[in-house]
Amino acid sequence: MTTPLSFLIYFTAMNPELRVTTVQCNLFWEQPEANRNHIEGLISDAGEVGEVIILPEMFTTGFTMNPETHAENLESGRCATIDWMRQMAKKHEAVVCGSVAICEEERFLNRLYWVEPSGQMLYYDKRHLFSLGKEHDHYKSGNKRVIAEWKGWKFSLNICYDLRFPVWARNAVIDGIPAFDVQVFVANWPEVRIVHWSRLLQARAIENQCYVAGVNRQGEDGNGVAHNGGSQVLDFNGESLMAHPDFKDSVLTTSLIADELHSFRARLPFLSDADRFTIH
C-alpha cells in the first residue's frame, strides 16, 4: 500500500519526541495571585520542563461557582492570568495551558487557554457544564471543539466533565490523517469518583488511539470537596506512562514518541473504520 503524501508531510512535521510536563497541585480557594505564585514556584523547583506544560482546571481559583466576584474580566483590557501564562510560556520556551474562570461580553466561561512562547494563543470554552455542581447556572457552554498544534503534534483540548462524553472526544481520520495525537483533560475531579476518572482516561486513549494527559488538582476545595489528584499520562494502548502520587503537589515530565504512535496505528488501523457523524 502506498503511503499518502499528506500523511508523510504530517509525520515528518512532528517532533520525533515531545516532552509534556503535568502540574498537579493544591489550589488556594479563590486566590488567583496565590495560585499563580504557588504554581510558578513548583515549576521552578522542578527544574527542566517539557515543550508543553499542563495545569489543572480553574487553576487560579479552584472550581468556583462565584464568577461574579472571581472571574477575570476581559473587558478591562488586561487579564493578569493571561499575562502570567505568556510570561511563563516565554520563560520556559513551552506552551502553557490550563483553564480559568473568565468574563467576556457579560458571560462567564470556563475557558482553557493554550499559550505559546510567542504570546500567541488559542482557547477552548468548556462544552459540558457540570450540572451536578450547578456549573450550568453560572457559566455558558462552549460549542466548538479546538485542536491546537505544537511541534507538529495535534492536541485536542478538553475540560473535566467533557471526559464523560465520548462522542465529543472522538477522534476521526480525514484524508488518512487522525484529527489529533494527544487529548488533554484538565480537571477538578473529586476523590469520591476518581475510579471513573482513571477508567475514562484509559477508555479515551484506547478508543482514539492517542496519548492522553489528564491533569487534576489535589487537596480540599472551599466547599469541602476532597481531591486526591490521579493525574497521569497514558499511551495509545491505554497504558500509564507516568502517574502523580496521590494527595501531593508534584510536577512530572514524560516523553511522547511519534514513531511509536504511528506504528501502533498502522498495525491496528481501527480509526479508519469508525462511524462518521456530525455534532450539533
Report the alpha-carbon distance of residue 267 to residue 113 in Å, rounded: 35
List Cβ neighbours of 87 (8 Å cut-off, separation of 6 or more).
none
Report the alpha-carbon distance of residue 69 to residue 64 in Å, rounded: 10
Q: How many Cα atoms occupy the beta-carbon half-sphere of 92 within 13 Å? A: 28
Respond yes or no: is residue 160 known to be catalytic: yes
Closest-CA residue to 213 (of 237, 182, 238): 182
Catalytic pick among 25, 79, 160, 210: 160
Catalytic pick among 72, 97, 116, 126: 126
Tell me how crowded residue 75 is: count the other CB atoms within 10 A of its CB: 9
Report the alpha-carbon distance of residue 22 to residue 258 in Å, rounded: 19
Report the alpha-carbon distance of residue 43 to residue 53 in Å, rounded: 9
Report the alpha-carbon distance of residue 277 to residue 142 in Å, rounded: 19
Q: Enter the C-alpha cell of residue 10.
A: 504530517
Catalytic pick among 57, 72, 135, 191: 57
Write the DSSP string, 184-206.
EEEE---GGGHHHHHHHHHHHHH
The stretches of 47-157 forming alpha helices (DSSP H) are 67-70, 80-92
Report the alpha-carbon distance of residue 127 to residue 109 in Å, rounded: 10
List Cβ neighbours of 235 (8 Å cut-off, separation of 6 or more).
205, 211, 241, 260, 261
Name the residues annotated as catalytic: 57, 126, 160
